[in-house]
Amino acid sequence: AQRVTQPEKLLSVFKGAPVELKCNYSYSGSPELFWYVQYSRQRLQLLLRHISRESIKGFTADLNKGETSFHLKKPFAQEEDSAMYYCALSGSGGSNYKLTFGKGTLLTVNP
Amino acid sequence: NAGVTQTPKFQVLKTGQSMTLQCAQDMNHNSMYWYRQDPGMGLRLIYYSASEGTTDKGEVPNGYNVSRLNKREFSLRLESAAPSQTSVYFCASSESGWLYEQYFGPGTRLTVT
C-alpha cells in the first residue's frame, strides 16, 4: 500500500521568510514523488517532481529515501505563493498509474 | 488546446437523484481519472481508466460508476445521490505510466441536499 502524509494542514509565514512544507511517504518499491499546487480559483497543477530535479518558482524538493521524505522548500516566500499544496506519490512498474495524494497543506504568506 | 474540460461547473441535486459528470481531454492521453476533493481529506481517487476500454476502482468507488466512452471522454455517474457525495469532483488525464504528470480539469462543485 502507498501512503502520503502531510503533517501540517495550515502553514502561515511572513513574506521573505523561508518556508518548508513537509511530506512523508510510505511505499515498498521505488516511488516517484510530485508536488501539486492549487491557487485560489484555479485548477490543480504540477509544481515539480523528483525525477526532473528542477527548481520551479524558487521551490525545490529533495527526495530523502532514508527518511522517506520529499519536503518542499523555498528560501524566501512571496505572497503569490499562498495556495494549497499537495504532495503525491506514484508507484513504479506494472500498470500502476495511480497517484496517491496527501491531505494537503494550505500555505498563507502574510505581507 | 482546451486541455481537460468538465461539465457542469456546479450542480445541486436532491437525495436520490442521478446525474452524470462529463470529462473530455484533447491531449491524446491514454489514462484518465476521477477524484473527489473534500476539506481535510485531500484528493481521493474514485475510478481511473488506464487506457481506452478499461476502468478500475480507486480508493472510494462506492456509489459511483464510470464509462470510458472513447479515448477523449470519461464520464462519472451517480445513480442515487447521497449527501455524503457533496464534494468537488476533478477529472484528470495523463500519458500512460507512473512517471507522468496528471493534468486536471477545473472541477465540478456538487451539492446533494
Q: Taking CB atoms and an 8 Å limit, are A98 and B105 in contact across chains?
A: no
Is pLDDT of A24 > 60?
yes
Is pLDDT of B99 > 80?
no
Mean pLDDT of B42-64: 93
Mean pLDDT of B65-93: 96
* Nearest CB neighbour to A103, from listed B42, B97, B107: B42
| Per-residue model confidence (pLDDT) at position A41 | 87
Is pLDDT of A97 > 70?
no
Q: Which position has the higher pLDDT, B100 or A14? A: A14
Q: Taking CB atoms and an 8 Å limit, are A98 and B107 in contact across chains?
A: no
Contact between B81 and B65 (Cβ < 8 Å): no
Is pLDDT of B12 > 80?
yes
Is pLDDT of A95 > 60?
no
Kindly report the number of other CB atoms within 10 A of residue A9's CB atom.
11
| Per-residue model confidence (pLDDT) at position A92 | 64
Mean pLDDT of B81-98: 92
Contact between B102 and B84 (Cβ < 8 Å): no
- The alpha carbon of residue A19 is apart from the nearest alpha carbon of chain B, in Å, by 21
Nearest residue in chain B measured CA to CA from A6: B42
Of the given ranges (A28-37, A48-57, A64-73, B11-20), which has the lowest mean pLDDT?
A48-57
- Computed from CA positions of residues A49, A54, A60, A61, in that sequence, does the dihedral angle turn out positive or negative? positive
Give the C-alpha separation, A17 to A55, whole Å: 18
Share of chain A above pLDDT 90, in %: 71
Q: Taking CB atoms and an 8 Å limit, are A46 and B101 in contact across chains?
A: yes
Q: Taking CB atoms and an 8 Å limit, are A97 and B104 in contact across chains?
A: no
* Nearest CB neighbour to A44, from listed B31, B45, B90: B90
Residues 6+ apart with CB under 8 A from B63: B78, B79, B80, B82, B84, B85
Q: Taking CB atoms and an 8 Å limit, are A43 and B40 in contact across chains?
A: no
Within 8 A of B108 by CB-CB distance, chain A residues are none
- DSSP class of residue B106? -
Partners of B65 in beta bridges: B77
A98 interfacial to chain B (CB closer than 8 Å): yes
Contact between A3 and A99 (Cβ < 8 Å): no
Is pLDDT of A96 > 80?
no
Between CA B78 and CA A41, with CA A86 as vertex, the angle to 5 degrees is 65
A103 interfacial to chain B (CB closer than 8 Å): yes
Within 8 A of A90 by CB-CB distance, chain B residues are 98-99
| Per-residue model confidence (pLDDT) at position A52 | 79
